[in-house]
Amino acid sequence: MGTFDVLALAKNAIMLALLLSAPLLLVGMVVGMLIALFQAVTQIQEMTLTFVPKIFAIMFTLMFFSSWMIMKLSDYTRDLILQLPDMVR
């Protein structure tokens, strides 16, 4: 296994991690921005107002995208296991 193979594995793993975390991070960011805008307009500075809607939004997003995430992760793992014999040589 050469340097190129190690770098390719690392790149693929990082890209998969970014791809899997993107929907959750985007939903958290959008909900956070909407809550911040609401707090700025109404001048309500309640701490729980920032956390509870984000938690529920991320939870529903995770429920919606979980099958896709598991499928992507299992495909990556299967491909990695199938490539192992060629990498060892």
pTM above 0.85, yes or no: no
Q: At what angle do helices 3-42 and 48-88 cross, to 10 degrees?
A: 170
Q: Give the residue numbers spanning the domain of 24.
A: 3-88
30 near 24, Cβ under 8 Å?
A: no
What six digits make up the tokens of 89?
């040589």
What pLDDT is attached to residue 88? Answer: 78
Per-residue pLDDT of the chain (89 residues; tens, 9 = 90+): 778 888 988 999 999 999 999 999 999 999 999 999 998 898 888 878 888 999 999 999 999 999 999 999 999 999 999 988 887 77
Number of domains in the chain: 1
